Amino acid sequence: MSMSAMTTTAEKKQHDIGRFHILRLISRNRLALAAVIFLVVVILCAVLGPWLMGDLIDKPNFRARNMAPFSFSQGWAYVLGADTLGRSLLARLVVGAQNTLGIAFCAVLCSIVIGGLLGLVAGYSRGIASAMILRGADIVMSFPSLLLALIVLFSLGPSITNLVIVLAITRVPIYLRTTRAEVLEVRERMFVSAAMALGASHSRILFRHIAPIVVPTLVTIGAIDFATVVLAESALSFLGLGIQAPQFTWGAMVATGRGYLSTAWWIAFWPGLAILLTTLSLNILSSWWRTYADPQQRWRIELARSKKGLQEKRT
């Protein structure tokens, strides 16, 4: 076996060991484990929901109008109750996860790409381009994000594309400034100076040497920011400026049920609970990952793991 093949095999084994180590640490933290399990269930609902329950989301059943939850008189699909048209709330929750998470994922991905590219230029360049990019970010940040989204969506009209664009624009300055701060520090390192001395082009230095160091930080911030984008999308859909019928999200379902809170509270309660648990799970997992990714704080997780192991041995 060649030396390169042996190195590749060793790297794969080390990667697998690190991955299983993370899973073991998560399994010893009940909150983080519960958050992971819930998010996996939500992702499975978003992927498989339209295939499994897509026929029930628009199927009216006037015998089940505003039917209370935990009743199996109309079948298991109505265990969470029905809305004003007799449609299954369970089916709409499962299928609505796809639009809710899909819009948030596209918005976060676009903001990471746009903010990351602009941050690379702003951090690496020392000329007028950097100043213009930073002033543009200041202009965007000077407006309250929700107010800016309301103005743009009211002007352009509500649609999925416009919603993704608005959510992405309001989050771009976060990734831009983070990337710029990282680049300002990385560009002073010795390997960047060595690449410049060897005649490497600016684009090669940015995308081959600096960007791979910045990307993990952006991904971590994106995971943390995902919950904020979900809440922003739900708020816009609740105000009627998000996704439009016949498509729907959890926020739109809450808006549909707000007029029936006194007579059929479950119409707004279940999608609101789904939004709450999703954002809470994302925040818990992001907090755990932030602690694990910081070498100066990782000892807290390791210490909790050691204490739990000692308790299990004693019992």
Residue that wins the pLDDT comparison between 26 and 111: 111
Could you tell me the two tokens for 165?
């664009």
Residue 17 pLDDT greater than 90, yes or no: no
Task: Specify the higher pLDDT residue, 121 or 21.
Answer: 121
Tens digits of per-residue pLDDT, 279-306?
899 888 888 877 776 666 665 666 655 5
Q: Which domain holds residue 160?
A: 97-252+262-314
Instruction: Confirm whether 30 is domain-assigned.
Output: no
CATH of the domain at 219: 1.10.3720.10
Exposure string for 167-200, b = 16+ CB within 10 A, e = fewer: bbbbbbbbbbbbbbebbeebbeeeebeebeeeee
Burial category of 283 from C-beta neighbours within 10 Å (exposed 0-12, middle 13-18, buried 19 and up): middle
**Domains held by the chain: number:** 1
Domain-located, residue 31: no
**Is residue 310 over pLDDT 50?**
no
Structural domain includes residue 11: no
Task: Return the higher-pLDDT residue of 274 and 15.
Answer: 274
**Residue 172 belongs to a domain:** yes
Give the tens place of pLDDT for each residue, 241-251: 777 777 888 88
Section 100-118 average pLDDT: 92
> 310 in a domain, yes or no?
yes
Query: Does 32 map to a domain?
Result: no
- Tokens, residue 131: 């100043």
